[in-house]
Amino acid sequence: MKVGKALGDHVTVMGGLPSSLYLLGALEKLREETHRLLNEVREPGGFIFRE
């Protein structure tokens, strides 16, 4: 994720998955996207997962 890399450990990023994924996506796809998102943005500044 470009935002996390650009900001480094100066701020914490907040975000989540698209609402359509919760409504229309398969459970496995939801898990994959959650893991991908958290692996990309959790370090170094942290991540607040919403939704």
DSSP class of 9? T
* Cβ neighbours, 10 Å, residue 4: 20
Give yes or no for residue 43 having a pLDDT over 70. Answer: no
Q: What's the whole-number mean pLDDT along residues 26-50?
A: 81
- The better pLDDT of the pair 45, 26 is held by 26
- The better pLDDT of the pair 14, 23 is held by 23
